[in-house]
Every structure is written in C-alpha cells, then in structure tokens.
Amino acid sequence: MAEKQVNSQLEQFSYDDGIVRKFFFATVLWGAVAFLVGVIIALQMANWKFNFGLQWITFGRLRPLHTNAAIFAFAGNAVFAGIYYSSQRLLKARMFSDLLSCIHFWGWQLIIVSAALTLPFGITVGKEYAELEWPIDIGITVIWVVFAVNFFGTIFRRRERHIYVAIWFYIATIVTVAILHIVNSINLPVSIWKSYPIYAGVQDALVQWWYGHNAVAFFLTTPFLGLMYYFMPKAAGKPVYSYRLSIVHFWALVFLYIWAGPHHLLYTSLPDWAQTLGSVFSVVLIAPSWGGMINGLLTLRGAWHRVREEPVLKFFVAGVTFYGMSTFEGPMMSIKSVNLLAHYTDWIIAHVHGGALGWNGFMTFGMLYWLVPKLWKTKLYSTALANAHFWLGLFGIVLYMLSMWAAGITQGLMLRGLDPTGHLLYPDFVETVTKIAPLFWIRLIGGLMFFTGFLLMIYNLIKSISGAEAAEAVVHSEPRLSPAPAIGVKPGESPHRIIEGLPAIFTVLTVVAVLVASAMSLLPALLSEDLVEANPAFKPYSALELQGRDLYVREGCYLCHSQMIRPTHAETLRYGPASLSQESMYDHPFQWGSKRTGPDLARVGGKYPDLWHFRHMMDPREVVANSIMPTYPWLYSQKTDFGVLQKKLSVMKSIGVPYTAEEIEKAEPNAREQAKRIAEGLSASGVNVDIADKEIVALISYLQKLGRDYRNMTAAPGGAK
Amino acid sequence: MSDDKEKLLDHLYDGIQELDNRLPAWWVGLFYLTIAWAVGYFYYYNIGSGPTLGQELREEQNQWALIQAKNPTAAGGGADEEAVLAAVIKDESRIKHGKEMFATKCLACHGPLGGGGIGPNLTDNFWIHGSKPTQIANIIRTGVNDKGMPPWGPLLKPEEVHSLVAFVKSLKGTNPPGAKAPQGNEEK
C-alpha cells in the first residue's frame, strides 16, 4: 500500500480515489434506474394500463423498487462516494483498508441487485423503506458494519487531530442507521423469502415510523449535510459561515430528529400524547434544520456572482434551498389540523419529492459535476449542458410539486367535504380520484423533465470522462499524530473542541443522544397500558385469511389503501367508526398505509359480497366505474400455497398471536375447507370455474375479515361501546 | 474576506476554513419560540383543557346531530316519510335523478337495468325485505350487512335516497334481458 514511514516525523500516503470513482459510477447508474422506475409508476398512476397486465411491474410491486432505488441505491451510493472522497482528505489518511472499501462497494451493489430481483416478485416484508426480506437485511447489516469499521479505522489512523463538522455528520449517519435498521428489521423467518416482523399493529406502526422518519433524517439528511459542509466551501472557495452554528445545529438535529416519527401517525389509534409528542418535536426541528441551510447559504457570501456562472454552485444553492423548504413544510404538516388535510394525500408525495429530487438529487448532481475534474484528468465537457440540466431539473421539480400539492389539497378537501345537513359532498371515493387524475399527467411531465435533465448529465459525464485518464494519486507527507490525545483547548476556543479531538468520545456521545431520544420516544408508548387494551372480540386471522393477507402485502395493496379510519366525522361517515388499536393487534406487519389512492379498507369486510370482490380484482371498472386501480388477473390462475400455512401459523404463534395447537396442526385442512366454502358461494352466484385453490379466494377471505370482528362486537348485545 | 471583523478560526481542513460568527439572533429566537410553542401545544392537548381526539370527534358528531335534530328529514326516515315518498315516486324528475345515481352506485351489483347480478333482481314482484317505498328507503339507508348491501345512509342525502326509491319502484315489470331468478316473497 502507499503508506510507508519515511522517518519518525513524516509519513507518506496517498488517497484512494479508485473507490470514489466506483461509487461515482454506481450513483449515476442507479439514479437512472430509480428515476426511470419513478417515471413508469407515474405513468401507471395516470393510466392504469401501463403495467401491460404484467404482475412484476404492477404499481404495488414497482413502487417499493422506486423508493428503495432512489434512497438506498442512488442516494446511498452518492453518500458513499462523497464520504470516501471527503473523509480521506479531512482526516489526512487513506481509507483504513482498501479491501474493506472494495467489500463495501460490491456488497452494497449486491444488496441493490437483490432488491431489484426480489421486489418485482412481491418478496417484501410490507413495511415502507424496510421492504427487503431478512436475508438481504442481514446483508445490509454486514456491509454497514464493514463500512463502519473502514470509516472508524480511518479516523483512528487520521493525521488531523480534530474532526471537522462533515465528519460529525458522517459519524451520526453510520451509528444511527445501524441502530434504526437493526431494531426495525427484527423479523422471524417462515422461509428463505418470507418473514414476519415481531412487532404488531400499533407497536409495529410506532417502530416503523421511528425508523421511516429517521431514515429520512439519517440516510437522506445528515450525510448530505456532511457532504454540504465539505463540497460547498470547497466549490465556493469561502470559509464556512459559523462554526458555532455547526455545533448547535448538529447536536440539536441529532437529538431532536429521533422524536418526530409519530407525526406519520397523527389521527390514528396511537395514544394521543404520543402523537402530540411527534407534532411538537417536528416543529422544534425547524431551527436546527435551518441551521444547516443558513450555514450553507451564508458560506456563499461574496461568491454569489459565481453562482451565475458555475453549475456546481447552482445545484448546491437550489439543493440547500429545497432543504430549507422541506424542513419548514414537514413541521407544518405535523401540526394536527394541517395533517388532518394533508395525510394520506398527494401532498405527502409533493413533500418527499421536494426533499428527494431537490435536496438529495441536486446536492448529488452538484457533487458529481464538481468531482469530474478531480477524479479524472479532464474538465467538464459542457457547462451549457450542465446549466440546461439544472433548469430542466428545477422546472421539473416545480411542476411535480405544484401538481401534487394541488392534487393533495383538492382530494383532501373533497374527502372531508360536508353539505349543510352533515352529509358527505362526495360520497363516492372514486369521484375524488377522477377529479385529480389530470394532475397525474402533469406530474409525469415534471418527472420526465427531471429525468431528461439527468440524461443530459450522463451524456455530459460520458463526454467528459471518455478517453480521460484517472487522476494520478498524489503522494502526501504528513506527520503522524502523537498517540497521546491532546486534551484541552486554546484560550478563546469552544470547549466543544475537546471532543472534536476525541472521536471515540464524540461517537459515544452521539450514540447516547440517539439512544436516549429513541428510548424516551418509543418505550413509554410501547410499554403503556393503554396502547392495546386486550379484547377477546378481536380474533386472529384464519389460516386462509393469513395467506390472503400475505398476498395483500405481496401485491403492495398498502401503497394505495389505508387500514386506519381516522377519528373525524367525515371519515366515520365514509368508512364507519374510527379504528381501534385492537383491530390491528395481530397484524405482523401493520398495514395502516400512508397514502390513499383508493379508499380505506379497515372495515371493507362484509361491505360487499364475495362476488363483488371476485369481479373487482379481475377488472375494478366492472364494479366501480372510472376506477384507476390496475387489474389482477394472475390471482385467478396462481394457486394458493396451502402447504406453508402450518409453518406460518406456528411462526405467528411464536411472536404472540394466540393460535391453539389444533389450529396450527389443522392449518392446511382448515384453509382448504374455508376456500371451498367461498368457492361454493361464488359458484352459486354464477362463477363457473373451480377456483377454490386459487389465490383470489384467499385474498377475498382476507378482505372479508377486515372489520368483521368489530362488526360482530358492536352487533352483540351490550357489545357496542 | 467579506467582513474583516469576522473571526477566522485557525482550523484548516483540506483547505476549508471556518468563521466563528455568532448564531443569528433571529435563528436563536425562532428556536426558542418553537420550543415555547411545543411546550404550550403539548400542555394544552395532553395536560390542560384541550380536547382529546375522541372528544374532538364526539363534539363534531354532536354538532351535526343537533343540526339534523332541528331538521328531522335531514337524517331521513321522518314521521311523514310515507307521504313524502308517495309524491316522490310519481315525480318524473325524481325518477330521472334516481336513475343517474343508480348508474354510479347500484349498477355494479343490481345490473344496469336493475335485473340483478351480485345483488337481487329489482324488476320482478319478489322482495326479500319488502316492497313498500319506506321499506326500500330503509334498506338503502341501513344496508344488509351479511348480504353485502352497504349502508348508504351515511353517504347519501335523504332526497337522494328518495329519488333512488322512485327509480327502483319505476323498474317493476320491466323484465330486462338476463334478469336474475326471483328471491324473497312475492308481493303484488
């Protein structure tokens, strides 16, 4: 390796930029995949026919592929490229181990490929952004540990006494993502590609959104802030505006972000106080988030004239501005009254894309353009093309967000609209969808513009790099750090400087902040007596219903349908009395959903006859005119896997679902019996094919179970609350 | 340097320098303000007199119940419904109104011409739950749970239910092609 000791004072070393180039290419490749799949599912929203009747590319299966590709493949590789480039320079040390760098790179790509090869087949846990099944989860854990060892090893070997703010953010990212991923992915396997989360219902919801929200915080925010702190001052040639602000906003962000997860669960059956905590911590996050924006934008003082000429700075300025907007919009949407309108609508979609395309996308693009002449002996092929990319991307995002804001607010208002006598103004859910369908086309145009800009970048990068040699590794000479840590600060220096010189202590403090916040925000609710009041009226799923539920998860139904009737007058008129926490107490995983492109299904059981569902899944428009739901013809030819049910029930029992030994023993015959009854009923109403062993019957049994126990409880004498 | 009074720290990381500017006053103010708001908001809703989500819902439902109590027909099924319906079922404009709603809400189960399908035939003389206008109105409002007829009462206005009754009554004897076999009791 390039390190060798010249004398006792100076060491010679060089940086590993080969690994940065690898992550650079991976970022571009997976970005193309993520955006292309995004465009495809946007097209499917505008017109349901665009899955061409193929189950593998139906919306419910492609949507997780889109989100996983955007977050873990595109943003993930961008983060790694940026971290590997900047950390070596900020720490004045080559990465700890070239082998670990290599394992990290190829391991991560393997995880992405596994995701791309499983999600289209409906292999999913059914929890948003944590869809990947347990073998891949284990792979993620291993590769993340490899990354952590490599990163902390580099810190250990550093030749810079103090760690710079970018490194603080990288540390927070690495330790927190590990904690989030492990805690939320504790699933018990049924088979190699099927597992159930150990949490159920409201607990699963709480853990999932602690994870989901903080994935945004620690996978899409803190690492990008770290990148900003490196690449922004480098590109602008200006000092960072305020070191003190860095300190305050770093610690505030790390501690406060963790608490905000329950803002995804407002107006649900989560206890009120836990919901309110989520709301207030979200609002308190505005200033810490804006601390990063201020430090970024004010770093450009005196360099604003260069923003006009330099595409890199344009992307950074717009990216940081989108960050500021998103971190204001998010807290506003966490206030109960705003959330009541925004939740479950396209407003959320607008919000996340402001963050993903504007902040993560533009910061990444700026970084890639900046890195080209550093990583290769070349210069950017065309500034004009990069500028065109910027403007196309910017207008694409604006079009995207405006259309989805309009769609979300329109649908939100229609869904709760009441006439003067207290009746729903739009009783048919589908009316609210057909109203906003034209906006799905506008969104598609916005997405296409963003994608086109990205393709211009690819062309520009290829033209810049092709034929160019990789930049030669420069050999640096630096003294090694004395092993004794220098504790203490110079006069006038902040005491924070002490822990900047002690990265181990710094890391421990970060972990403590994250763990304390996690424990305080999760444990009281998880241990609270009133979380789920036991009620014998609510029974576990029968074996066939459980199998149907797994199909519901496989097809990604939860991505368009919620199972949570919120406690408002309009919702209770539309769907029935507000959902109780007991109703999902056996739901591993919970399926409350986060978006309603279709109506809530918490009480759909018994609302329609089996024949209705039979026709509906074949072609929704047969029973709901103007429905935009795709067709599911494969459910009518694929056979139900009855053989696995005994195993499934016994796994469910081991995570707390009270199945009797007999129910487990007889899982298969019981399921066949129930399927036969449903098929006979269908046959009596004119269905002339034998379908008892087909998947559609299992799905129907599950849909008919939804809300059945609640109805029986309220129908029983003295049962109504 | 844009402002030479600013203090440049002697940190240098790969050429990056840091200034030691004070925290912007408005930023600090905003931070304190949101913390104060958070304390107040939490106190109001979870310790003080603010309503719980359940109370909010009951309050909202009570308000609507009051409005509907003042205007009995608003909820449907008022004492004079029989008389109201007797007039409505003869009103051609109401039958037409009912037909429009039938096409979006009932067609899927009762067939485009009311001949039945998933649900029973509405054009013959056989009725499972009675053929009187008030009986039909009640079934539309409350549904038939175990048969999969959804309750439309929470979704439709009383006059919409009445128009549907008028349309259904107008179907008698139309005998559309492919009509479902009779179910229930014959009523002349």
The answer to whether residues A592 and A565 touch, using CB atoms and an 8 Å cutoff, is no
Which single residue is written with the structure tokens 């609350």?
A: A721
Adjacent-strand bridge partners of A476: A13
Residue B3 scores a pLDDT above 60 = no
Angle at A34 between CA A332 and CA A22, to 5 degrees: 115
CB interface of A with B, residues 530-589, below 8 Å: 567-569, 572-574, 578
User: Is residue B2 over pLDDT 70?
Assistant: no
**Are B155 and A164 an interchain contact pair (Cβ–Cβ within 8 Å)?**
no
- Of B20, B3, B16, give the one whose Cα is nearest residue A228: B16
A548 shares a domain with A513: no
Q: What is the reported pLDDT for A568?
A: 94
Residues A121-158 have pLDDT tens digits of: 999 999 999 999 999 999 999 999 999 999 999 999 99
Q: Do residues A330 and A418 share a domain?
A: yes
Burial class of residue B167 in the structure, from the number of CB atoms within 10 Å of its CB (0-12 exposed, 13-18 middle, 19+ buried) = buried
Q: Closest Cα of chain A to B90: distance in Å?
A: 25
A321 domain residue, yes or no: yes
Q: Are A594 and A503 members of one domain?
A: no
Rounded to a whole number of angstroms, the CA Rg of chain B reads: 32
Same domain, A431 and A576: no
Same domain membership, residue A591 and residue A510:
no
Instruction: Tell which residue, A194, A71, A93, has the closest CA to residue A480.
Output: A93
A569–B60 CB contact, under 8 Å:
yes
Max mean pLDDT range (A194-198, A573-577, A681-685): A194-198
CB contact under 8 A, A283 and B34: yes
Chain B closest-CA separation from residue A608 CA (Å): 4
A281 Cβ under 8 Å from any chain B Cβ = yes
Q: How confident is the model at residue A720 (pLDDT cuts 50, 70, 90)?
A: very low
pLDDT of residue A629: 97
Any domain includes A523: no
Residue A512 belongs to some domain of the structure: yes
pLDDT, average across residues A3-30: 86
Give a three-class secondary structure readout of B70-97.
HCHHHCCCCCCHHHHHHHHCCCHHHHHH
What ipTM was predicted for this assembly?
0.91
Q: Which residue has the higher pLDDT, A360 or B153?
A: A360
Count of domains observed in chain A = 2
Yes or no: say if A486 and A501 are a contact pair by the CB < 8 Å rule: yes
Residue A428 near chain B (CB below 8 Å): yes
The stretch A322-333 carries a mean pLDDT of 97
Phi-psi label, residue A613: left if phi above 0, alpha if psi -120 to 50, beta otherwise:
alpha
Q: How many CA within 13 A on the CB side of residue A281?
A: 26
pLDDT at position A233 is 97
The domains of chain B are located at 74-186
Q: Which residues of B touch A418 (CB under 8 A)?
A: 64
Q: Is A429 helix (H, G, I), strand (E, B) or coil?
A: helix
Task: Determine, for residues B18 and A243 on separate chains, whether the beta-carbon distance falls below 8 Å.
Answer: yes
Same domain, residue pair A422 and A316: yes
| Residue whose C-alpha is closest to residue A107's, from A153, A152, A146 | A146
Q: Kindly determine whether residue B156 and residue A280, on different chains, have CB atoms separated by under 8 Å.
A: no
- pLDDT band of residue A6 (cuts 50, 70, 90) is very low
Closest CA to A26 of A91, A82, A95, A67: A82
Q: What is the mean pLDDT of residues A82-93?
A: 98
Task: Identify the helix (H) or strand (E) that includes residue A462.
Answer: helix A429-465
When pLDDT is averaged across residues B31-50 and rounded to a whole number, the result is: 96
What is the arithmetic mean of pLDDT over A253-258? 96
By Cβ distance, the residue of A239, A569, A685 closest to B8 is A239
**Tell me, what CATH number does A578's domain have?**
1.10.760.10
**Token couple for A434:** 């057909």
List C-alpha distances in Å: A161 to A154, A167, A245, B92.
13, 12, 21, 89
Q: Which residues of chain A lie closer than 8 angstroms to B36, CB-CB?
A: none
Query: Under 8 Å CB-to-CB from A504, ≥6 apart: which residues?
Result: none
Rounded Cα distance between A245 and A242, Å, is 5
Per-residue confidence (pLDDT) for residue A530, from 0 to 100: 67
CB contact under 8 A, A240 and B16: yes
Position B21 scores a pLDDT of 94
Closest in A239, A284, A568 to B17, CB measured: A239
A257 and A354 inside one domain: yes
Tell me which of B150 and A359 has the higher pLDDT. A359
Fold of B74-186: Cytochrome Bc1 Complex; Chain D, domain 2 (1.10.760)
A302 has pLDDT over 90: no
Whether residues A514 and A547 share a domain: the answer is no
**pLDDT score, position B1:** 41
Chain B residues lying within 8 Å of A421, measured CB to CB: 67-68, 71, 74, 157
Statement to judge: residues A575 and A505 lie in one domain: no
* Model pLDDT, residue B77: 64
Give the separation between CA B75 and CA B69, rounded to whole angstroms.
Answer: 8
Using the predicted structure, report yes or no on whether residue A717 has a pLDDT greater than 80. Answer: no
Least confidently predicted of A245-249, A514-518, B7-11:
B7-11
Tokens of A330: 């998010």
Does residue A483 belong to any structural domain of this protein?
no
Closest CA to B76 of B170, B162, B165: B162
Query: What 3-state DSSP class applies to A36?
Result: helix
Residues 6+ apart with CB under 8 A from A397: A322, A353, A354, A357, A358, A361, A446, A450
Q: What is the pLDDT of residue A485?
A: 65
B72, burial (CB in 10 Å: exposed 0-12, middle 13-18, buried 19+) = middle
For the cut 60, the answer to whether the pLDDT of residue A51 exceeds it is yes
Give residue-wise pLDDT tens across range A684-696.
878 888 899 999 9
- Closest by alpha carbon to A711, among A587, A602, A585? A602
Averaged pLDDT for residues A77-88: 98
Amino acid at B55: Q
Reported in sequence order, the residue ranges of A148-205 that DSSP labels E, i.e. its strands, are 187-191, 194-197
Tell me how long chain A is: 721
Chain B residues near residue A242 by CB distance under 8 angstroms: 18-23
**What does the pLDDT look like over A607-661, one tens digit per residue?**
888 999 999 999 999 888 899 999 999 999 999 999 999 999 999 999 999 999 9
Cα(B108)–Cα(A614) distance, integer angstroms: 12
Q: Calculate how close chain A gets to B44, using CA atoms only, in Å.
A: 10
What integer pLDDT is reported at residue B74 of this predicted model? 54
pLDDT for the residue B72: 59
Same domain, A105 and A154: yes
In one-letter notation, the amino acid at residue A551 is L
The average pLDDT across A581-594 equals: 95
Q: What does each C-alpha distance from A629 to A383, A426, A557, A607, A647 come to in angstroms?
A: 44, 19, 10, 19, 33
pLDDT score for B177:
82
Instruction: For chain A, give the percent of residues with pLDDT over 90.
Output: 88
Q: What's the half-sphere exposure (Cβ side, CA atoms, 13 Å) at A419?
A: 14
Same domain, A513 and A634: no
Whole-Å CA distances, A69 to A16, A74, A75: 26, 6, 8
Residue B108 is nearest to which of A267, A273, A624, comparing CB atoms?
A624
More confident residue, A8 or B68: B68
Contact flag A567-B54 (C-beta cutoff 8 Å): yes
**Average pLDDT value for chain A:** 94
* Residue-range definition of the domain harbouring residue A427: 15-473+499-518
CB burial of A88-98 (b: ≥16 within 10 Å; e: otherwise) equals bbbbbbbbbbe
Q: What mean pLDDT do residues A412-417 have?
A: 96
pLDDT in tens, A476-505: 999 988 777 667 778 778 899 999 999 999
Cα distance between residue A60 and residue A502, in whole Å:
47
Regarding whether A571 and A503 lie in a shared domain, the answer is: no
In a domain, A19, yes or no: yes
* Percent of chain A clearing pLDDT 70 (strictly above): 97
Residue A718: its pLDDT value, please?
53
